[in-house]
Amino acid sequence: MPGEFDLIRRFFHYPTSHTDLGVGDDAALLRARPGMQLVVSTDMLVAGTHFLPDTDPFLLGWKAAAVNISDMAAMAAEPRWITLALALPHADEEWVSALARGFRECCEGYCVDWIGGDTTRGPLNLCPTVFGEVPFESAVRRDGARHGDDLWISGWPGMAALGLAQLQGQLQLVGGWAESCLDRLHRPLPRVALGIGLRGIASAMLDVSDGLLGDLSHILERSQVGAIIEETALPLEPLLAACKITERATAALLGGGDDYELLFCVPREKRGQVEALSRHFELPLHRIGRILDKSGLWLQRGDGVCEALAARGFDHFVAAKTPD
């Protein structure tokens, strides 16, 4: 059975492109570019909580990198470096090799240098830390939403939630939609280019990991505002095509997580700039509501009637998802 340092040498030691010193010493040496702020985030993945223990290790490696890189997109930052701390119940060389390939493939796709980490024996747990750069005072935070801003979401949120339901035997998706939804669950695509494109346009932004409503509540709380979501503007088309159940599709969109799409607020006068970004990146961007000057969250039905929504997503210490 290989030892810790043999695993590191064989599977976690890769050349870097913009790092002064990477794997092989007590620490890496990084050089931030002039005029940039460093952006740092850690997002842990724990077996049985964030992924099933029998998940394909290549896909798990990809996702571990992707969900952390997505945090850079959410801040309008450029991801540059990443580390991986890894706890393993045992040293399965084939499994570790596949994990490392998936992690590296995602990093290379986003020009991120893998600069180190740690391995130890223990319950299966992956803990990457990602480092990025953003021009000074250009990061898009959660606390900038203002009354009258449009509320936007990228892509097709909810597909990963349907994929998980299919995987757990709770739902039978139609035709080829199962493969598409499972791909969204296992291989999320961080919206880095969009996040960078929204510098100077978006007033507030985050990535949706724990459900649209729950993550929106963070923007509302930090910005001390409320919001109204328009039912007729929700991008339900692929979800309805996949499951044929309106209530299930709506619950997946509003309460499902793991898509890592960007949820962002933009002043109305900049609406055309968002539409231009959508065309440029060939990425659907949906205007689903607006920000209010009073606290609370509402859903405006197609008949104009508004109902209050509970803005609560997944909580690791309060096992609940919303809405039902």
Each domain of the chain, given as residue ranges in start order, spans 4-135, 150-308
pLDDT band of residue 324 (cuts 50, 70, 90) is: very low
Find the mean pLDDT for residues 23-50: 90
Find the mean pLDDT for residues 39-49: 93
With a cut of 70, say whether residue 13 has pLDDT above it: no
Q: CA-CA distances (angstroms) from residue 76 to 19, 190, 219, 290?
A: 21, 11, 15, 21
| Helical pair 57-74 and 177-186, crossing angle rounded to 10 deg | 70
Consult the annotation and say whether 92 binds a ligand. Answer: no
Please name which of 188, 53, 30 lies closest in space to residue 109, comparing C-alpha atoms: 188
Consult the annotation and say whether 150 binds a ligand. Answer: no
With a cut of 60, say whether residue 322 has pLDDT above it: no
DSSP collapsed to 3 states, the chain:
CCCHHHHHHHHCCCCCCCCCECECECCCECCCCCCEEEEEEECCEEECCCECCCCCHHHHHHHHHHHHHHHHHHCCCEEEEEEEEEEECCCCHHHHHHHHHHHHHHHHHCCCEEEEEEEEECCCEEEEEEEEEEECCCCCCCCCCCCCCEEEEECCCCHHHHHHHHHCCCCCCCCCHHHHHHHHHHCCCCCHHHHHHCCCCCCEEEECCCCHHHHHHHHHHHHCCEEEEEHHHCCCHHHHHHHCCHHHHHHHHHHCCCCCCEEEEECHHHHHHHHHHHHHHCCCEEEEEEEECCCEEEEECCCCCEEECCCCCCECCECCCCCC
Instruction: Determine which of 25-39, 99-113, 152-166, 301-315 has the lowest per-residue pLDDT on average.
Output: 301-315
Consult the annotation and say whether 278 binds a ligand. Answer: no
**Average per-residue pLDDT in the chain?**
91
pLDDT band of residue 8 (cuts 50, 70, 90) is: low
With a cut of 90, say whether residue 257 has pLDDT above it: no
CA 225 to chain centroid, in Å, comes to 23
- 150-308 is classed CATH 3.90.650.10: yes
Residue whose pair of structure tokens reads 């097709």 in the numeric block: 156
Consult the annotation and say whether 207 binds a ligand. Answer: yes
Consult the annotation and say whether 286 binds a ligand. Answer: no
pLDDT at 219: 98
Greater pLDDT, 147 or 9: 147
pLDDT at 16: 82
Consult the annotation and say whether 303 binds a ligand. Answer: no
Consult the annotation and say whether 314 binds a ligand. Answer: yes
With a cut of 60, say whether residue 78 has pLDDT above it: yes
pLDDT at 91: 78
CA 23 to chain centroid, in Å, comes to 26
Consult the annotation and say whether 20 binds a ligand. Answer: no
Greater pLDDT, 65 or 310: 65
pLDDT at 10: 59
With a cut of 70, say whether residue 323 has pLDDT above it: no
Contact 195, 73 (CB under 8 A): yes
Contact 255, 208 (CB under 8 A): no
Find the mean pLDDT for residues 288-300: 95
pLDDT at 318: 41
Contact 23, 12 (CB under 8 A): yes
pLDDT band of residue 312 (cuts 50, 70, 90) is: low
Greater pLDDT, 102 or 9: 102
Contact 79, 192 (CB under 8 A): yes
Q: Rounded CA gap, 227 and 152, in Å?
A: 12
With a cut of 70, say whether residue 36 has pLDDT above it: yes
Consult the annotation and say whether 6 binds a ligand. Answer: no
For the sheet containing 204-207, what is the strand order?
Answer: 204-207, 262-266, 150-154, 285-292, 226-230, 296-300, 306-308
> Which phi and psi (to 5°) does residue 81 adopt?
-140, 155
pLDDT band of residue 9 (cuts 50, 70, 90) is: low
Residue-wise pLDDT tens digits, 208-226: 999 999 999 999 999 999 9
Contact 202, 138 (CB under 8 A): no
pLDDT band of residue 24 (cuts 50, 70, 90) is: confident
pLDDT at 319: 41
Contact 109, 143 (CB under 8 A): no
Contact 138, 36 (CB under 8 A): no
Consult the annotation and say whether 118 binds a ligand. Answer: yes
Q: Which CATH class is domain 4-135?
A: alpha beta
